[in-house]
Chain A
Amino acid sequence: MSENRVDSVPAGDLTSPAGSGTAAPPAPLTTSAPPGPAARRTGGGARTGGRDRTGGGARPHPLRDRLRRDWQLLLMALPAIGLLAVFHYVPMLGNVIAFQDYSPHVGIAESPWIGFANFQWLLTDQSFWDATLNTLTITAFQLVFYFPIPILLAVLLDSVLNPRVRLFVQSIVYMPHFFSWVLVVTLFQQILGGAGLISQLLRANGYDGIDVMTNPDTFLLLVTAESVWKDAGWGTIIFLAALAAINQNLYEAAAVDGAGRWRRIWHITLPGLRPVIILLLILRLGDALNVGFEQFFLQRDAVGREAAEVLDTFIFWRTLVTGEWSYGAAAGLVKGVVGLLLILVANKVAHRFGEQGIYKKS
């Protein structure tokens, strides 16, 4: 009975979870329920006798009662939690082999403990530092030559007045995000490689062919171009949302005051994007050690280790090819811990800037 009534609620109104409230500030990822909805939705408490947990004070229900009430919900969460526990948290514990001289034949329990020896070797390993340097170089280069492109593209798309044209272009530029790296690298190879379209055209006109895909000198440009082709369009989504949230009256007021198109972009659009830009910039810095694995793995053979070895590929080749499990685990652990520290620092900086960061200041 009640289901019929409930089903008549128009589903279409709810396609946007944030409603139309684009003006609401982006809620950070919190470790608890967002304060807004939680405070608003005290229905659970009201239903069980008007006692509201969010009011603080003593716990209203003994654990047994709450378990009896919520066991179905817990049961539903169980499969996902189980998968994460097994495939995320167990391997996290498996990192202990970084402090061992691990051998797969004897297992973790029997392998000898050697303290920090693996880390000492790692820090004196030139190829580790080369890979780190490559990783940081790529991050820095892409901050300059990749990062601004989604912003510019979003401003351009936002200025398209005809909604149909805009939607059409949007769906085209989002699309490559859903292609695999193998596919993207293959496409680039077909265009820019030694047997690719450009070389084909050059040779047909009597010039030498070029092979960008195996040239370590242009590798930085190549991987950045690939990243732009694949993900810059998708990257506009968040900026388009921020643009939609800018108060249109500001533009009107500026236009009335005589500000032209470019001045409006400079004085209204860009300041309106500032919070998102700073947030994404900081997040990218916190993620500086991750430049993407598959893209580099796929091109490492063709371009060579000197240019294409990044931390992830270093770990892969050092371990799975040579069997130095503990050494690879140590490298992975260093990368993970440094990455975690970078995120925490980046978040601190975000708070310093008055932004929300990825989690709330507590």
Chain B
Amino acid sequence: MSTRPAWEERPSLPGRLTKGLTLSVIALIVLFPIYIVMLTSLSPAATVNEAGGLVVVPDGFSLAAYRELFSGGVVTRSVLVSLGVTAVGTAVSLVCTVLAAYGLSRPGSVFHRPLLFMILLTFLFTPGMIPSYLLVKSLGLIDSYWSLILPGAISAFNLVVMRAFFMNIPEEVPDSARIDGASEFRILTRIVLPMSKGVTAVVGLFYAVGYWNAFFNAILYINDNAKWPLQLVMRQYVQQGQALTLNGASDTASAGALPPNLAIQMAIVVLALIPVLFIYPFVQKHFTKGVIIGAVKG
């Protein structure tokens, strides 16, 4: 499989070993934490106790931690919140971004310069945390799931990436459809988008990961911890090691306060990891194919 050019010297054995070792160590540094977290979450309580902490060597298998999490308490709810916000948010962001990227991709169309300028300007100056908070508050969105979606729904970067891609589709393609009287929307959905599956998948992944990982928006805008997304639950229960209860005294008994427990904590970490680990391989191939590179090039 190797593609060594003819002029290049044959790699020496020590050189190859060093390189292989370095790459293995790098891969291990990335994978090892994920491995022990998964292993601990799947280990029976006895194994975790015996290890005195994280489990490195597998011994026994138990889904007890996950059963606990999905028994309908705070965590179950936060997973549903995160999934919902991610699904709705990604849909909103992707639709708006694709539409705008296409709408602004025709050279010479009316007003596209000022509108594009307005979008690019958001790169240079962010509005600041306090005014944003006051705006969301005055719109009555505090404790609304929309506060986790709307303020960051449009990423100027993603929009510019998509627009650059659309502009590289040969003009003749949409033009021939225009001559036949197709509407712009029809051209976008029937012709341009099917040609842009890779970039759409990547931008969709960026948005979805952004929503799934969003943490700070919820800190700012969500006071009611029954509406907390998973990242906040992970922060309180796993990182800070505090017990999980719901606000409101009457609620605590029924929701079942969750005392800190290593296997359960690690199971929460795995829950936060899983969607990323599952979607990533499907989109990952596009990174190496140059979608991002093209984006970086503007």
Contact = CB atoms under 8 A, between A and B. Distances in A.
Contacts of B280: 171, 175, 178
B110 A5 contact: no
B54 A162 contact: no
B286 A190 contact: no
B124 A340 contact: yes
B227 to A, nearest CB: 17
Given A2-B177, A163-B3, A237 B287 contact: yes
Q: Which of B34, B133, B177, B183 has the most chain A CB atoms inside 10 A of its CB?
A: B133
Given A91-B131, A182-B215, A182-B239, A156 B122 contact: no
B294 A18 contact: yes
A200 B54 contact: yes
B69 to A, nearest CB: 16
Contact of A70 (B3, B33, B106, B197): B106
Interface in B102-118: 102-104, 106-113, 115-118
Given A18-B168, A87-B150, A256-B7, A6 B177 contact: yes
B72 interface: no
Contacts of A185: 239
Given A14-B196, A87-B150, A81 B100 contact: yes
A187 B110 CA distance: 51
Interface in A13-47: 14-19, 22, 24, 26-34, 37-38, 41-45, 47
A125 interface: no
B296 A77 contact: no
Contacts of A174: 284, 287
Contacts of B219: 297
A293 B167 contact: no
Interface stretch (B57-65, B73-81, B185-193, B244-252): B185-193
B176 to A, nearest CB: 5
Contact of A320 (B104, B164, B220, B288): B220
Interface residues of B, number: 136
A238 B296 CA distance: 7
Contacts of B281: 171
Interface in B190-217: 190-191, 194-199, 205, 209, 212-216
A90 B19 CA distance: 53
A17 B26 CA distance: 31
Given A255-B9, A297-B216, A160 B19 contact: yes
Given A9-B173, A162-B1, A19 B168 contact: yes
Contacts of B183: 72
A79 B96 contact: yes
A72 to B, nearest CB: 4
B169 A14 contact: yes
A128 interface: no
A182 B132 contact: no
A227 interface: no
Contacts of A340: 124-125
Interface in B143-198: 150-154, 156, 159-160, 164-165, 167-169, 171-173, 175-180, 182-185, 188, 190-191, 194-198
Contact size class for A?
A: 35 or more
Interface in A81-119: 81, 83-95, 97, 104
A165 to B, nearest CB: 7
A237 B292 contact: yes
B268 to A, nearest CB: 9
B298 A237 contact: no
Contact of A298 (B56, B134, B239): B239
A144 interface: no
Contacts of B126: 88, 336
A270 interface: no
Interface string B278-298: 001100101111111111111
Given A87-B150, A186-B269, A255-B7, A315 B191 contact: no
Contacts of B30: 172-173, 175-176, 229, 233
A2 B181 CA distance: 10
Contact of B290 (A18, A164, A339): A18
A80 B107 CA distance: 19
Given A73-B104, A171-B284, A83 B26 contact: no
Given A73-B109, A84-B154, A197-B53, A94 B127 contact: yes
B213 A179 contact: yes
B225 to A, nearest CB: 15
A160 B18 CA distance: 12
Contact of A183 (B122, B190, B269, B298): B269
A275 interface: no
A11 interface: yes
Interface of A: 1-3, 5-7, 9, 11, 14-19, 22, 24, 26-34, 37-38, 41-45, 47, 53-54, 63, 66-67, 69-70, 72-81, 83-95, 97, 104, 153, 156, 159-165, 167, 169-176, 178-183, 185-191, 195-197, 200, 203-204, 229, 233, 237-238, 241, 248, 251-252, 255-256, 260-261, 293-294, 297-298, 301, 312, 315-316, 319-320, 325, 328-329, 332-333, 335-336, 339-340, 343, 358
Given A9-B173, A31-B116, A76-B184, 6 more contacts: A11-B197, A38-B108, A47-B179, A189-B239, A241-B297, A336-B128
| 6 nearest A-B pairs in the assembled complex, by CB-CB distance | A94-B131, A180-B213, A76-B103, A80-B100, A332-B128, A16-B290
22 contacts: A2-B176, A6-B191, A7-B191, A7-B194, A15-B286, A16-B293, A44-B108, A53-B108, A77-B103, A92-B128, A169-B23, A170-B287, A171-B288, A179-B213, A181-B213, A190-B54, A203-B52, A238-B293, A255-B7, A328-B130, A333-B128, A340-B125
